[in-house]
Amino acid sequence: TTEKSLRNEDNGIHVLFFDQNMAMQISREDKIKKELVQISDGIRSERLYMQYQPILNLNQGKICGFEALARLTSDHFGRVPPNEFIPIAEKNKLIVQLGDVIIIKALQFLQKLQQKGYNQVSVSINISAVQLLRSDFSSNLIDQIKRWQINPAQVGLELTESIFASNYDEINRIIRYLRALGIKIAIDDFGTGYSSLAREREIYANYLKIDKHFIDKLLEAKTEATITSDIISMGHKLGHCVIAEGVEYETQLSYLRENGCDLVQGYLISKPLDDDQAIEHLIHDNPSSNG
Ligand code: C2E
Ligand code: MG
Ligand code: MG
């Protein structure tokens, strides 16, 4: 059995749990952590790999980029979703090393795109707060961009809205620096974080990615009651390009089109794809390779 001690914030009482589920959960987490340690030490690092999900530009009617999404095939549990292993990596500071691996893989993919003649297509990489706040984050990223001979304008970084809740000034300073180099910044999961409108105005991002929650709402009967269109116009007023994520149905797509959303991403366009599949998808979408 596992013993877990929780402190009740209000009265300082310690509560002890003895719970089989919790024990299983901890051993699962522990096993995943051990595998992540191995991977970051370079042991069978192929267990961590990337997939790329196409992003469609609605005005141009073509794929303008991809989001890089990390995948883990665990020895013990098979495929483990990033919503599970990324937080484990963050908790154990493993995300810094694994994040570097992820960045390199994404830049290698970008180099392949460039070699095929796609000089306008971007790849955006999800970055955790722990990574971004390291003093050497920017210089490492720039070194890697040079190493793989990438045009910084094709590199995007996705930061979840919630990371602006703390370290707001520091993060905005880093963003300004990266943007001055041409790197694009997206605020991810918009609408689920804690940033106030007043602050939102000052976040120096290129893109605002509306969280899937607001896209799901478009399937409800009273579409006109949703605030999704308000989020799109607010994003535009604040000078951001607006992306909808998790688009699965035609009805959602037509709403987004009618309400001026700029870019869409979701299973309706394509699921996340392996390197080669992603390039094939791009060639099929835009064979002239001037995209
Ligand atoms: P996210 O950055 O918001 O990524 C979008 C998620 O929505 C992805 O889940 C994607 O596969 C999923 N998705 C896209 N279209 C659809 C759709 O039409 N329907 C549904 N149901 N889902 C859709 P995924 O790959 O499981 O990633 C989950 C989260 O894990 C990501 O959310 C991101 O926060 C995090 N993550 C993934 N890769 C990385 C990474 O390399 N680094 C970091 N720090 N976080 C990552
Ligand atoms: Mg993202
Ligand atoms: Mg998101």
Torsion of Cα atoms, 127 then 245 then 175 then 240, to 10°:
180
Task: Report the distance separating Cα 164 and Cα 62, nearest Å.
Answer: 32
Atom of ligand 1 nearest to the CA of 211: 3
Query: What is the per-residue pLDDT for 291?
Result: 45
The answer to whether the beta carbons of residues 106 and 50 sit under 8 Å apart is yes
SS3 238: coil
Is pTM beyond 0.85? Reply is yes
Query: What is the per-residue pLDDT for 12?
Result: 60
Is the CB of 82 within 6 Å of ligand 1?
yes
Is the CB of 211 within 6 Å of ligand 1?
no
The answer to whether the beta carbons of residues 272 and 123 sit under 8 Å apart is no
The percent helix, strand, coil of the chain (3-state, each to 5) is 45, 25, 30
Query: What is the per-residue pLDDT for 24?
Result: 78
Top mutation candidate among 126, 134, 187, 192 for ligand 1, by most atoms within 8 Å of CB: 126
Angle at 232 between CA 226 and CA 235, to 5 degrees: 135
Ligand of minimum distance to the alpha carbon of 69 = 1
255 Cβ partners below 8 Å, 6+ apart? 218, 223, 228, 229
Query: What is the per-residue pLDDT for 6?
Result: 52
Query: What is the per-residue pLDDT for 162?
Result: 83
Is the CB of 270 within 6 Å of ligand 1?
no
Per-residue confidence in pLDDT tens, the chain, 291 aa: 344 455 555 566 666 666 777 777 779 999 999 999 999 999 999 999 999 999 999 999 999 999 999 999 999 999 999 999 999 999 999 999 999 999 999 999 999 999 999 999 999 999 999 999 999 999 999 999 999 999 999 999 999 988 887 788 899 999 999 999 999 999 999 988 766 666 767 788 999 999 999 999 999 878 767 789 999 999 999 999 999 999 999 999 999 999 999 999 999 999 999 999 999 999 998 775 544
The DSSP bridge pattern shows strands 62-74 and 78-80 to be antiparallel
The answer to whether the beta carbons of residues 130 and 91 sit under 8 Å apart is no
